[in-house]
Structure 1
């Protein structure tokens, strides 16, 4: 297939799989400048056709197999939206077809598979990025820059939690260990990534968890030590968390609602004699707009990188992806969770 990385043209996207996350992604793709939905692929041709009709235009192709999607010359970048357990095989096929890849998080079940994916991207000279939209979010990027500048003091403690109740049948990907079901992988990756972005690479992490009868981690609590700071992080599939984060510094406290895609963060300074000073609070926002609900910003970053000839993003570098996956590998081992590999037919 000829390389179609042509500056000045819309990037042709192919969406591989048609589940809930793919639909959310497609809605943001539709409002992202420089991107268009070129094709969608599913193992069910009717599902692909319905998805294309709902989210595409009269040029959008639908394919009743993943192979047909990957053979479509109008597709430059493939968004892999299958369950975690199938990501490596899907990405392998996409690279072999000459496509760039944005792969839903976590990029793979473990760090070894993720490293293989990176090696394949390098071997095929293709772009690869984990779909960690939080790292591309304008408010998160602004907050990280402010922390690095010292404007709000030195961070000493970080808290981040993400959880919601999963009501699904046993065969659902959120509860089936064969599909990579894991509160840590689905939710915990966000607090871990947020802490990594704000504090740097963890020096040590320890976890405790409650497991289902099938060995799936349902609730996870993590204590972490980072350079100059500590963190407590949590993830849950059984209860409704605040989905918030906070960073305590020697000058005050930063609060972030919906920290994985926030509208803003707020710094409240603390006076040693008088206590918190809410009347002096500073809203932390970003000049760059949020595209859609935030997936558009990661789409725009992929577009930018592909058109610039980059093979990884500086916002979501391969090293960061691998670091967080190694952390999750270790945490899963600590709580006694293991994966036996995906079922056939993914």
Structure 2
């Protein structure tokens, strides 16, 4: 039996929502004949160390808290495993670059999950922008102020908090340069405003609001050179993105041509560099 004909075994690290959904997606796809889940908090699950030592495990999905992502990815790659990691890959551009170099050295796939970029809405906007180049754009995102954004504020990582939206803007507008960034914080949460300029000279504003009990929503506004509004599709959710991304990663592990999309190394590292710079600029935010 050839290597590509044998069943691939996968391990999902983390038993939160993302880990549970990834495990369910694995059961939907051919080749995922056996998958296990591991957690530091549940002794009934195998440990991460045991998964790394298991030669039958080919690919690892890292779905636990982001603070451990860089070390988890490094350990998995050093064990010769293909890796899918939910964003962020790392907290600095240099650390991210080192991980990609390690993946190449060990001939492993390193796949970063940015699920919002796979939605039908994001694709529709990208298609529209391939035909219409606006003079400026405003991207507004709001959501609750839960454990993850609270940790980003606590660790002075506001750039990381906005990374998914930054990555989306890179996919839509290409390379970006940060012109200004500000943040305001109170007991209810934090609001971050960032102004970018694209290589085409477009002015792009990202406004991210993370407040307690706030409903998650987003909106993109585009304007032409006369400051007239350009019609943009309304945002809508896409429940199939986990399955699409899981299938894409598996295709890459098998060396198959994937029908899915993923964020390439150059774009991921550019996003990490922007987020790192924003975090440093905003690290003086009042506690």
1:157 to 109, 127, 136: 136
Cα 1:174–1:198 change in 2 (3 A) is closer
Is 1:22 the counterpart of 2:19 in the alignment? yes
Q: Which residue of 1 aligns with 2:283?
A: 336
With structure 2 as the length reference, what TM-score do the two structures score?
A: 0.82
Is 1:202 the counterpart of 2:176 in the alignment? yes
Q: Equivalent residue of 2:232, what SS?
A: strand
Is 1:324 the counterpart of 2:271 in the alignment? yes
Measured after TM superposition, the shift of residue 35 of structure 1 is: 3.7
Is 1:223 the counterpart of 2:202 in the alignment? no
Measured after TM superposition, the shift of residue 221 of structure 1 is: 0.9
Measured after TM superposition, the shift of residue 43 of structure 1 is: 1.6
Measured after TM superposition, the shift of residue 315 of structure 1 is: 2.9
| Greater Rg over alpha carbons, structure | 1
Distance 1:225 1:303 in 2: 36
Is 1:232 the counterpart of 2:214 in the alignment? no
Cα 1:100–1:212 change in 2 (3 A) is farther
Cα 1:235–1:26 change in 2 (3 A) is farther
Question: Which shifted more, 234-243 or 218-227?
Answer: 234-243
Cα 1:316–1:37 change in 2 (3 A) is farther
Distance 1:236 1:119 in 2: 35
1:119 to 101, 115, 125: 101
Measured after TM superposition, the shift of residue 179 of structure 1 is: 8.2
Q: Equivalent residue of 1:220, what SS?
A: strand
Query: Retained in 2: the 8 A contact 1:80–1:87?
Result: yes
Q: What is the number of residues matched between the two proteins?
A: 276
Q: Which residue of 2 aligns with 1:185?
A: 160
Measured after TM superposition, the shift of residue 208 of structure 1 is: 0.3
Distance 1:306 1:159 in 2: 37
Cα 1:179–1:89 change in 2 (3 A) is farther
Query: Retained in 2: the 8 A contact 1:41–1:68?
Result: no
Is 1:166 the counterpart of 2:163 in the alignment? no
Distance 2:64 2:167 in 1: 21
Cα 1:105–1:143 change in 2 (3 A) is same
Cα 1:75–1:5 change in 2 (3 A) is farther
With structure 1 as the length reference, what TM-score do the two structures score?
A: 0.69
Measured after TM superposition, the shift of residue 10 of structure 1 is: 5.4
Q: Which residue of 2 aligns with 1:242?
A: 217
Distance 2:142 2:158 in 1: 8
CA RMSD after TM alignment: 3.1
After TM superposition, the structure 1 = structure 2 runs for residues 73-88 of structure 1, keeping only pairs within 5 Å, are: 73-88=55-70
Query: Retained in 2: the 8 A contact 1:115–1:322?
Result: yes
Larger helix fraction of residues:
2
Cα 1:121–1:144 change in 2 (3 A) is same
Structure 2: give runs of 5+ residues left out of the alignment.
none
Superimposed CA distance per residue, residues 258-302 of structure 1 (whole angstroms, 9 cap, x where no aligned partner): 4xxx45xxxxxxxxxxxxxxxxxxxxxxxxxxxx53111111111
Question: Which shifted more, 201-210 or 6-15?
Answer: 6-15
Q: Which residue of 2 aligns with 1:289?
A: none
Q: Which residue of 2 aligns with 1:176?
A: 151
Measured after TM superposition, the shift of residue 6 of structure 1 is: 3.7
Q: Equivalent residue of 2:112, what SS?
A: strand
